[in-house]
Structure 1
Amino acid sequence: MTKAYTHLAPFYDFLMAADYPLWEQYLLSLFKKFAAVPKTILDLGCGTGNLTLPLVRRGFAVTGVDSSAEMLRQAALKAEEENLPVTLHKQDLRGLALPQVFDAAISTCDVLNYQVSAADLQAVFAGVFKHVACGGLFLFDLNSAYKLANIYGNQSYAELHDDFSYFWDNSYDEESKICKMEITFFTRAENGLYKRAVERHRQKVWLPAEIRKISETAGFKFLACYDFPSLEPYSQNSQRWQFVLQR
């Protein structure tokens, strides 16, 4: 069994197709709505840089942090191809230790769902609080309770390609509100044979009321929770919740 986002990293952009330009515009609209004009941005769980790099292209000074060396490697390769100035750090989000304070922080693509205990989530918020300037925003999203329980739920998926294939099996536990995901990869080697590898991921449901309590304990001001990617209030049927906190 390997660490999450180890074998997935080279295929992440192909498999996790998302409307990143829409996501980028949404983040910018939130900055505008709350009258924030950041110059430096901390991107938590930046992954392969799908939102980090577009923000750099817009002139923001962005620092990306991720716990996966393999995902960061993909981000660095893409930045190098375009000669984009981006700083990347391999760190656990529960123990952030960076040499600067940022005007704002973001965390996208349900990164914080991976914190499966209140203590872990509290540690993340405490670390972000230390690294964001007074008055700065922290924008992040979460997979909703509805999505983890009903869309991911106890579903299975598979895709077959020439060079790789995967089988994705989910199981949702109502008591712990944790969705366990087991991904089995088969990647084609030079000799034509396929190598098997397995990753396990876990995501936990965090309700808006819980986010408010934990984030306020860390010192943040809870400003809003929206139905992503809109400015409409969140609902129980939302698939993704967008949060806005202020330092």
Structure 2
Amino acid sequence: MSYERFAYLYDELMQDAPYHQWAELVLKKLEDYGVKGRTLLDLACGTGELSLRFAREGFQVTGVDLSTDMLSVARSKAEDAGFHLPFFEQNMAELEGLGQFDVIGVFCDSLNYLQTAEEVEKTFSKVYQHLKEDGLFIFDVHSIYKITQVFMNQTFTLNEDRLAYIWNSFPGEAPNSVEHELSFFVLDESSSKYNRFDEIHFQRTFSVEQYSRWLEHAGFKLLEVCADFEDASPSADSERIFFIAKRID
């Protein structure tokens, strides 16, 4: 899934996202598992918000995303902040040629945009190849509960002076998948009229057990599974599941 006009609204829509919690979790897990290296690959980096936060923490950050528009925003933000970060347009399931890193992350449930089991397995294999020995792979996904009980058949809205949206979520064709139909209304200040555009996004998730098997099959040692930014195992109503795995040779 590649974002189009949505990319230029993304930061405005996500201004309340708990990015600091993602960054804090990564820093804590690197300390917990004794990872000293500072090279970090931010897969599905979007507009680079987390890439910049890690750069400010002293990491050598590389960002990858499938969306040209998202990467355009990320590059501009990095330059404005005084960082010269390398950003590459690649599919995470076809990752190649970027070298090896001490930590690789797929944050903000971006892995849920992969539609098939094969894509997830290919992504794990590619991440393994790009990770240094004993390096950490950290990612988060929506839980099955979040997809089926929170999103499914729900409507979400926003109504502000400059921006409004209607967000409808419907069951997808695959098990534990959802289709998001989004209609945006953005104020054109020159005409005082609202321009509408529509996008469709798809997300799919799998069980904790399935992700764990795929990680182990790719060669990782699964170190930890936790939920909702807390050091606690997932419960029946956890919404965001985190996996921390290590490359072993």
State if a TM-score over 0.5 links the two structures: yes
Extract unaligned runs of 5+ from structure 1.
Answer: none
Structure 1 residues 120 and 174 mapped into 2: Cα distance closer, same or farther (>3 Å)?
Answer: closer
- Amino acid in the other structure paired with 2:24: Q
Structure 2: distance between partners of 1:192 and 1:102: 48
Percent same amino acid at aligned positions?
33
Does the 8 A contact of 1:104 with 1:137 survive in 2? yes
Alpha-carbon displacement from aligned partner over 1:196-223 (angstroms, at most 9, x marks no partner): 2211111112111100111222221212
TM-superposed CA distance for 1:194, in Å, is 3.2
Structure 1: distance between partners of 2:120 and 2:21: 27
TM-superposed CA distance for 1:125, in Å, is 0.8
Extract unaligned runs of 5+ from structure 2.
Answer: none
Q: Which residue number corresponds to residue 224 of structure 1?
A: 224
Alpha-carbon displacement from aligned partner over 1:18-60 (angstroms, at most 9, x marks no partner): 1212221111111111111221011111111121101101110
Structure 2: distance between partners of 1:174 and 1:77: 37
Does the 8 A contact of 1:145 with 1:236 survive in 2? no
Deviates more, 1:197-206 or 1:105-114: 197-206
- Amino acid in the other structure paired with 2:243: F
SS of match in other structure, 2:49 = coil
Does the 8 A contact of 2:227 with 2:234 survive in 1? yes
Q: Which residue number corresponds to residue 6 of structure 2?
A: 8
Does the 8 A contact of 2:2 with 2:66 survive in 1? no
Aligned 1:23-42 pairs, distance under 5 A: 23-42=22-41
- Amino acid in the other structure paired with 2:136: L
Aligned 1:84-163 pairs, distance under 5 A: 84-163=83-162
Instruction: Output the aligned Cα RMSD.
Output: 1.6
Structure 1: distance between partners of 2:131 and 2:219: 11
Deviates more, 1:167-176 or 1:127-136: 167-176
Structure 1 residues 71 and 175 mapped into 2: Cα distance closer, same or farther (>3 Å)?
Answer: closer
Aligned 1:151-230 pairs, distance under 5 A: 151-173=150-172, 176-189=175-188, 190-230=190-230
* Alignment TM-score, normalising by the size of structure 1: 0.93
Does the 8 A contact of 2:172 with 2:202 survive in 1? no
Structure 2: distance between partners of 1:173 and 1:180: 5
* Alignment TM-score, normalising by the size of structure 2: 0.93
**What is the aligned residue count?**
245
Structure 2: distance between partners of 1:23 and 1:220: 21
Deviates more, 1:88-97 or 1:188-197: 188-197
SS of match in other structure, 2:5 = coil
Structure 1: distance between partners of 2:143 and 2:245: 18
Structure 1 residues 150 and 175 mapped into 2: Cα distance closer, same or farther (>3 Å)?
Answer: same
SS of match in other structure, 1:194 = strand
